[in-house]
Amino acid sequence: IFHLFLHTRKKMGLLLLLVICQCAINSIKTHIVSKPNIILLMADDLGIGDLGCYGNRTLRTPNIDRLAEEGVTLTQHIAASPLCTPSRAAFLTGRYPIRSGMAAFSRVGVFLFSASSGGLPSDEITFSKLLKQKGYATALIGKWHLGMNCESTDDFCHHPLSHGFDYFYGLPVTNFRDCKPGQGSVFLKGAQKHLVIPIQITGIALVSLAIVQYIGLLKVPLQALGYFLLIITVSLVVLIFFFSHFRHLNCFLMRDYQIIQQPLSYENLTQRLTKEAMQFIERNTDTPFLLVLSYLHVHTALYASENFKGKSKHGLYGDAVEEMDWSVGQVLDVLEKYNLSDKCLVYFTSDQGAHVEEISGAGEVHGGYNGIYKGGKSTNWEGGIRVPGLLRWPGVVQAGAHIDEPTSNMDIFPTIVKLADTQLPSDRIIDGHDLLPLLQGKVTRSKHEFLFHYCNAYLNAVRWHPGNSESVWKVFFFTPNFSPEGSNGCYDSHVCFCHGGFITQHDPPLLFDLSRDPEEKVPLTPETESRFHEILRVVHQAVDNHTRTLHAAPNQLSWNNLLWKPWLQLCCSSLFQSCYCDYESGGSPLQVHLG
């Protein structure tokens, strides 16, 4: 009887242990599929070499580094574009921006004005739309840069609230040098370069017409001459008005559909964005939420609050990075305060690499550091597209893991859509892939065998990671012409461009193996790589297959959609009152600036 009792107790113990294990497994499974909270943190123009967790030893980023320690560090995380607007479009939709018309065929690849008519098309499906349909509270705080209106000042066809966000607090366009007095202008140099000669030609033509009219060599109808002069005068007046009021017209802060500060004030701006993010979390502790906190840091104009100004070892740029890190820490702290850390996936990245050409008027470096990688923002060299990729979800993703497989910012779309227990759209191609199996260590290979790198709407390069190899081949069809020659960027033009005399075409294409040459220093040749022609053949076939999946989409970045349209201008007072108001600082809604 005694032996029978021991045997029975042993079986019961084993059974109890199995039940406990099964409960634990079920608990983890339930945790994964029970609509976790999602926080997506996106920096602007941050270099991969600016963070401690990616090797920086002089900038202090303990809170961002904490995400790496408690989560996964992606070491080959790729932005879908090296420019703000197309990269963010790809991030929100999980699709190459060429598919949605968010890639330019002209020189300008981003939106420059709040009163442009282009933007993320309303028929594009964003992850925020899908999560909102599943009961998530959704908010975008910070930079948008994906358009505002189409035909009138109140249609808000491209507004964040038209793309699945319940709440918006931030900038409709971006942070320009022109937005901050004393920081110079992005536009004046280009305007002077492209307008001076046409104005001179027009002036010479008018004087010549007047002379030939006076001496009788040619009879020009005075009415036609008057109309021509009127058109020129009106055009000049509009241009002068626009550039003299650029800050008021394009640099303003909105809450939902209302302008609350015009022009934008940089005073405690990061604190305000952070406070809005924390309050959104606090309002939704009992509701699944999606928060996209899109920092203005570290796009120029650089700024930092008094608590951070002059505290870093890298001037104002370093101050801005360290202030952003503080903000990340505040968000993580509020998650802990409400016991939400284990119920929340947190992702940190940058929209593209550091803008290496950013030098202040005083000669101070205002661009970031891309580590060992070549080039920067606006190029598809690794420095322009290899960005930080950090994901933390305690108990679900591996802690302290490093993954060197190719991944993309487009992967966030399918990853969080699946976590929200909803289906991917079946009527369109989604180029991203679910990251969770990779993050949990269930698989060791990325699903991205090929990644296509576009410079605006032009296919610039292709990355190939064969399934049976550790190599990561990268093929360039053209490369930007750095200026001055031998430098690491296009300093003469402030950014690199994608066509014409700004690039060099390569036939055969340049070939690199990033697994051996991540700095892209030495192109391979048939003499140094025996599989040279075979690799190019495979890549060309992949390009053909990819191209066949593309369908024409309205060009949202055409000149017509990029140009400033006065009838679309948002203004909290009136154009003749300099578009001034300040709700943020306690100003009256009717307060206007008459000076």
Residues marked as catalytic: 84, 145
Written as six digits, the tokens of 418 are 């699946």
Q: Which long-range contacts link 190-196 to residues 24+ away (Cβ below 8 Å)?
A: 191/239, 191/243, 195/239
Helix (H, G, I), strand (E, B) or coil at 403: strand
The alpha carbon of 579 is separated from its chain's Cα centroid by a whole number of angstroms, namely 28
Are residues 417 and 433 in contact, defined by beta-carbon separation less than 8 angstroms? no
DSSP 270-311: HHHHHHHHHHHHHHTTTS-EEEEEE--TTSSSP---TTTTT-
What is the C-alpha separation between 464 and 468, in angstroms, rounded?
A: 12
β-bridge partners, 10: none
DSSP classification of residue 523: -
Sheet holding 473-480, edge to edge: 450-455, 458-464, 473-480, 503-513
β-bridge partners, 40: 292, 347
Q: Which long-range contacts link 192-197 to residues 24+ away (Cβ below 8 Å)?
A: 195/239
Q: Backbone phi, then psi, for 27, in 5-degree steps? A: -65, -40
Helix (H, G, I), strand (E, B) or coil at 522: coil
Write the burial class of residue 379 (CB in 10 Å: 0-12 exposed, 13-18 middle, 19+ buried). buried
Identify the CA nearest to 238 among candidates 144, 127, 115, 120. 115
Q: List, in order, residues 6 or more apart from 176 with CB less than 8 Å away.
A: 186, 246, 250, 251, 300, 301
CA atoms within 13 A on the CB side of 286: 0
Are residues 330 and 62 in contact, defined by beta-carbon separation less than 8 angstroms? no
DSSP classification of residue 517: -
Q: Which region holds residue 83: left if phi is over 0, alpha if psi is between -120 and 50, else beta?
A: beta
What is the C-alpha separation between 236 and 532, in angstroms, rounded?
A: 55
Residue 242: count of CB within 10 angstroms of its CB? 18
